[in-house]
Copies of this chain bind each other. A is one copy, B any other.
Amino acid sequence: MFEPFTLKDIAKALGLSTSTVSRALRDTHEISAETKKIVLEYAQKINYKPNPNALSLKERRSKSIGVIVSEVANHYFSQAINGIESIAYDKGYHVIITQTHESYEREKINIQHLASRSVDGLLVSLSAETSDTSHLQSLHKRGLQMVFFDRVAEDIETHKITANNEKGAFEATEYLIRQGYKKIAHLTSSDHLSISIERLNGYKKALEQHGLPFNPHYLKYCPHGGMFYDEVENAVKELMNLSDRPDAVFVAGDRLSVGCLVVFKNLNIQVPKDMAITGFSNSDVLDLMHPPLTAVRQPAFEMGQIATDMLIRLIESRYPVYEFEKKVLDTSLLIR
């Protein structure tokens, strides 16, 4: 069995009390310089580390934050996680990552797990299936701090950080229009996700501004965020079988963009001859793809950093916070 050293071990070895050892290690003024030196040296020698569970129990906080994302294999999220870790480690916080795989049930379980005292706060990006946020509501009401990033819950009052989804979607759609496409479809995630709504708005606005009609048949949802291949394939097939078949598609997510290309390939749909495509994606191998994908890129790393900074400020605030920020960062259109 793995038995780390405790204060008691040091105290016994040095013939002191645990309180003296504790104080020596915390560099209290009431311990003599000589004792401090002895204790510190011995602690160093055996590589003593305080038991974090005991500390958490005593301090009633764990110095760790929980992160809920749909998938770490998603480039947007893995970049955001890197941003999260960069800030959290700096401020002495541990990061616990959990994945929902876009499942509402999994999200509930993960959040319950994280909430039950082991984390001081939550960094949340909702799953595609989630429309009811009461599991988060109740925890938030009871005082668990949380900050939303990317996929935010409108009905929970706290800090939020998103990309400028509407503008990004507008630019991507406008790019397709400028390329000469007139029948532009929109493939997106589930309809209740904040990012879906905003991106749809940007898409509609671009159509409107360029005098193109919005065709409801051109709008396809994937309620599971493209987690299942069939879901994407069916959506694409429905688009292709329309009598007034679209000539381009604007895709609203990282996983969907890749999934869409795979479906096109499998269905032998030539891009961009049969169908042009542009979409949201943070993949770093976009220009290696065939066909290359013109994409809207979100500042994922920065979003992770900002969200973490906001959360830690909430956690460490000595007074309750009633003013909440909603920060919106610009996307960039990578043209290929």
A49: which B residues are within 8 A, CB to CB? Answer: 112, 115-117
A78 interface neighbour in B72, B144, B283, Cβ under 8 Å: B72
A57: which B residues are within 8 A, CB to CB? Answer: 51, 53-54, 57
Q: A99 and B85: CB pair below 8 A? A: yes
Beta-carbon contacts under 8 Å, A40-72 to B: 47, 49-54, 56-57, 60, 62, 71-72
A288 interface neighbour in B54, B97, B113, B262, Cβ under 8 Å: B262
**How far apart are the CA atoms of A317 and B146 in the complex, in Å?**
38
Pick the interface stretch among A1-9, A13-21, A193-201. A1-9
CB distance from A303 to the nearest CB of B (A): 16
Whether a CB of chain B sits under 8 angstroms from the CB of A287 is yes
Q: A142 and B2: CB pair below 8 A? A: yes
Q: Mark A124-139, 1 if CB is under 8 A from B, else 0.
A: 0000000000000011
**How far apart are the CA atoms of A283 and B115 in the complex, in Å?**
33
CB distance from A91 to the nearest CB of B (A): 14
Whether a CB of chain B sits under 8 angstroms from the CB of A258 is yes
**How far apart are the CA atoms of A261 and B56 in the complex, in Å?**
47
CB distance from A146 to the nearest CB of B (A): 10
A53: which B residues are within 8 A, CB to CB? Answer: 53-54, 56-57, 62, 117-118
Given A51-B57, A72-B81, A258-B288, check contact A96 B99 (CB 8 Å). no
CB distance from A286 to the nearest CB of B (A): 10
Residue of B with least CB distance to A138? B47
Whether a CB of chain B sits under 8 angstroms from the CB of A182 is no
Residue of B with least CB distance to A97? B97
Whether a CB of chain B sits under 8 angstroms from the CB of A290 is yes
Q: A143 and B3: CB pair below 8 A? A: yes
CB distance from A265 to the nearest CB of B (A): 7
Whether a CB of chain B sits under 8 angstroms from the CB of A79 is yes
**How far apart are the CA atoms of A225 and B47 in the complex, in Å?**
30
Residue of B with least CB distance to A73? B78
CB distance from A120 to the nearest CB of B (A): 8
Whether a CB of chain B sits under 8 angstroms from the CB of A289 is yes
Given A54-B57, A72-B78, A96-B96, check contact A4 B288 (CB 8 Å). no
Whether a CB of chain B sits under 8 angstroms from the CB of A173 is no
Whether a CB of chain B sits under 8 angstroms from the CB of A145 is yes
Interface set of A (CB-CB < 8 Å, partner B): 1-4, 47, 49-54, 56-57, 60, 62, 71-73, 75, 78-79, 81-82, 85, 94, 96-97, 99, 112-113, 115-118, 120, 138-139, 142-145, 258, 261-262, 265, 283-285, 287-292
7 more CB-based (< 8 A) A-B contacts, given A4-B115, A73-B73: A2-B139, A3-B143, A53-B54, A72-B73, A73-B82, A285-B285, A288-B289
Nearest first, the 6 closest Cβ-Cβ pairs linking A and B are A290-B290, A49-B116, A73-B78, A2-B143, A72-B72, A53-B56
